[in-house]
Structure 1
Amino acid sequence: MSYTTLVDVATLRTHLDDPNWLVVDVRHQLSDTAYGERVYAEAHIPGAVFLHCDRDLSGAMTGCNGRHPLPDPEKLAQRLGEIGIGTATQVVVYDDAQGMIAGRLWWLLRWLGHDAVALLDGGLQAWQAASGAMTSLLPTLEPRAFVARPQNFKVHADYVLERIETPHMRLVDARGPDRFRGENETIDPVGGHIPGAVNRFFKDNLLPDGRFKPAAQLRAEWLAVLAGSPPDLVIHQCGSGVSACLNMVAMEIAGLPGSRLYAGSWSEWCADPGRPVAR
C-alpha cells in the first residue's frame, strides 16, 4: 500500500526501519534561511534526510521568475536519487510550519511522476506530541535511481493572463486574506492579487492542532470555493508557489484531483508592471 496524501504518526512510527520508506525534513523559515539546517542538526525524526527549500526545492531566481522558481527537473531528480528515493520508495515529508514547506516537496515529487509521497499529518509538532523519538545522528544515504517523468501539473503566467476572469479557469490564491486584499504586504514589492482570483488561505485546511480537517469537511469547503468549476480548471497560486501546494493536498484529500499550479505565483506576476493587479 502506498500513501499519496497523508501519513499519521502511528503509521510512520511502525515504518521507521522500513528500507522502502524515506522521511524528509524540509523545515524552513523565509526570515532565516539557515533555520532548517540548524534545527535539523540539533534534532530530527530518526532516519530523516534534510532538503533545503531554496537550494533543493527551488531553482535560480532571475528577478522576474518569482521568489521560489521551480528547480530543473533533471537536477531535482538527481538530488532525489542521491538521498535515496527510488521508484518504489514511500516518501514521508514533514516541517514545523503547518505543512507549508512539506506541501512543496509533495507537489514536486508528484510533478516528476512519483505518487508515493505523503505529508506527516500534523507535522513535527504531532510527532513530538506523541513522544516520537528524535535524534541528532545523520542517516547513511543509500542512493537510488530516480527517473523524472514530468507531468502536466503546472501552468505559466501567459496561461493565467489569457484566462483572467473567464469561465475557463478558477484561480485560487493561498495567501492570507490581508495580503490577498493588498494589505500588510511585507514580502513582495507590490500588494494585491491577480484579477479574478478567489482566496483560500492554506491554513483553512487545518484543524487547530495542525492536522488536516476530515475529508468530507474539506470536500464541502472546497466545493464552495470552486463554485461549480471542475477541479481540472482550478489553478493554484500563492506568493511564490510554496503554500499553494497545501491547497492541492487538501483537494486531493477531498477527492477533487486534477488541479494545477501557477508556480511563479504573485511574486512573478507582480514583477511585470504590465500585468493587471486587483485590490
Structure 2
Amino acid sequence: MDAHAAPGTPARAPALWRRAVAEGLGTGLLVAIVVGSGIAAQSLSPDDVGLQLLENSLATTLGLAVLIAVLGPVSGAHFNPVVTLVDWFTGRRDGSGVRAGDGAVYIAVQVGGAIGGALLANAMFDVPAGLSTTERATGPHLLAEVVATAGLVLVILGLLRSGRAAWIPASVGAYIGAAYWFTSSTSFANPAVTVGRIFSDTFAGIAPASVLPFVGAQVVGGALGMLVAAALYPRTPARQIGPDRPNVTHRPEVTP
C-alpha cells in the first residue's frame, strides 16, 4: 500500500516510461559518480592508491544513498540488473515484484545509462575516449564479486522483510562503501555498472575480457543472497511503497 493512500486504496505504479527514465538516470549518475570520483582521486592523490580508494569509496557511498532516496519513489531505485532480477523472482508468484516485461526494460536502460554515465565522467574530466585495459578477472576477484553481490541482496531483502525499508538508502550506500575495502574486487556488485566501466580507461575501469566473468559471479552472488535471505527471513510483512519504500518497484503489491 502507498503510505499516502487512504486505507483500502490500491497504490498505482508510475508509468513505465517514468520508471525507465528513473532507472536509466539513476544508473548513469551512479556510474558518473564512481568513474568521476575515481578520475578525481587519481589526479588529486597520484602517489597514494589507498587514498585514491578512500576518496572513490566515500563519493560512491554518499552518492548512491542519495540516488536511492531521491529516485526510489519513482522506480524503486534498482540501478542494478541483479536487484531487478531478484525483485522479479521473489515476487513472481504473488505479483509483488517487477513484471518480466518491465524488468527487461529496466535492465536495458540500466546498461544504457551506465555506459552514458562513464562517457559523461570522461567528458567532464577531458579523458580521451577508449576502452579500459584493466584486467580484473582473477579467482580472488570473482569470489569477491560473489560475496559483494550476495551481501547487497541480503541487505536489501533483510531490511524489506523486517519492515525497515526506510533504512535502505543509507544501508545500501554504507554496505557498498564498506565492500570497496573488504573485497579484493572493490565491489562492483552490479552488471550494468560493470559494463559501463568498460568505457573509461581510468582508475575505475575494467577490461572487456573481465566483464563476463564478473557478471557471472554477480548473478551467482545474487542467487546466494536470496537463499540466505529466505533462510533468515522466511515470512515477510506487507510491503509499503512511497517515499519511505525505496529499492522496490511501485505497483499494487504485497512483498518480495
Greater share of residues in helix = 2
The TM-score normalised by the length of structure 2 is 0.26
Q: Normalising by the residue count of structure 1, what TM-score does the alignment of the two structures yield?
A: 0.25
Structure (1 or 2) with the greater strand fraction:
1
